[in-house]
Amino acid sequence: MIKQVGVVGAGTMGFGIAFQFAINGVKTVLCDMSDDTLSVAKDKFVIYLKIFRDQGYSITLSDKEVLSCISFTTSLNDVADSDFIIESVSENLPLKQKIFEELDAICKPETILASNTSSLRLSEITKNVEKHKDRVMLTHFFNPAHIVPLVELLRTKETNEEVFAEVKAFLEENNKTTIEVKKEVSGLVANRIQTAMAREALSLIEDGVVSENDLDTAIFNGPGFRFSSSGLLKIMDFGGLDIWDITIRELQSKIESTDRSYSAIARRIESGALGVKTGKGFYNYPGKGFDDYVMERDTDLIQHLLSRNPKLREKGAMKI
């Protein structure tokens, strides 16, 4: 039974993962090699507790109780007692391999070890794990991990089915929605689809079919609008599979399938316009810092979450 969670890496994802468990009263140990990062994560706990409550998200524990569920450490040894550990350090294969080797050596035999990697292969990351070979898996959260429900799950050939089922049930108890990825493919499922969409969007811009502005307007008010109420296959059911069949046949050979690079991104990278973090990307982000923009986005996303899942809403809380 999972009673204590360890999260290794307290950056963007590690913070969100730890927050998600702590607000549900799960004892959580958050580990990072950087004191500064831990201090930022600590502050974010307080900030996000207020944001969640202000938005009407139901957290039955008091702030004091939530904060007593979370501890911060720079020592991997402090997570060793955990029943379930999620590695969420920087996307670097040798680093992740080293952490899994260390965890394999220091954790109790029952500990389940998971990686949150987006692009590295789980089988590579865990190739030197011995004692916990049947207790490793992948749990891929979506940013912001404390708000977006989806977690993609992947097992290795050796993963024990009971371990897999236990993690799945535990995540769902903690208000996450899981899917099983049945084969180890790059990008798993949702990121592959998202990347396919980005490639087609950039290709249409590159070829002068649509302006950048209109592209975003189309996504937000067309497919994105529908996606906020149902998944893709249900959308296909409503459209009629015979109609979709014709559309796919007609377009499949015409949509982007090359690996060319796109000037809309390349020239911005060259000029240092990397997006919100540099104040400029496709759009301008003036006057406020990165964190302010992220919190604004997250406030919107919490409202969206509560509208999709009203049981997370504080009883009597007004819809904002």
Partner residues linked to 4 by β-bridges? 27
Residues in contact with ligand NAD, counted by CB under 6 A, come to a total of 24
Nearer to ligand NAD, 52 or 141 (CB): 141
Rounded Cα distance between 58 and 48, Å, is 13
Tell me, residue by residue from 11 to 30, as one string, x for binding to ligand NAD by CB under 6 A and - for no binding.
Answer: xxxx----------------
How far is residue 128 from each of residues 122, 237, 291, 316, measured CA to CA in Å? Answer: 11, 45, 37, 52
Q: Judged by CB under 6 A, does residue 72 bind ligand NAD?
A: no
123 binds ligand NAD (CB under 6 A): no
> What is d(CA 29, CA 76) in angstroms, rounded to the nearest whole number?
10
Site for ligand NAD in 136-175 (CB under 6 A): 140-141, 143
Q: Which residue has the tokens 């504080």?
A: 314
Toward ligand NAD, which CB reaches closer, 95 or 301? Answer: 95
Nearest residue to 175 via CA among 128, 129, 141: 141
10 near ligand NAD (CB under 6 A): yes
Min. distance of Cβ 87 from ligand NAD in angstroms? 8
Specify which residues 193 forms β-bridges with: none
Task: Establish if 8 lies at the interface with ligand NAD (CB under 6 A).
Answer: yes
Task: Candidates 24, 25, 33, 219: give the one binding ligand NAD (CB under 6 A).
Answer: 33
Which parts of 273-312 interact with ligand NAD (CB under 6 A)? none
Position 37 contacts ligand NAD (CB under 6 A): yes
Spatial CA neighbour of 133 closest among 165, 162, 100? 100
CA distances from 28 to 16, 21, 283 (A): 12, 7, 37
Q: Which residue is nearest to ligand NAD (CB)?
A: 11
Instruction: Decide if residue 32 touches ligand NAD (CB under 6 A).
Output: yes
Quick one: which of 82, 116, 139, 159 contacts ligand NAD (CB under 6 A)? 116
- Strands, E assignment, 42-169: 70-73, 84-87, 112-115, 136-141, 150-155
Q: How far is the CB of 40 from ligand NAD (least distance, A)?
A: 9
Asked if 30 and 45 touch (Cβ cutoff 8 Å), the reply is no
Q: Which residues bind ligand NAD (CB under 6 A)?
A: 8-14, 31-34, 37, 88-91, 95, 99, 116-118, 140-141, 143
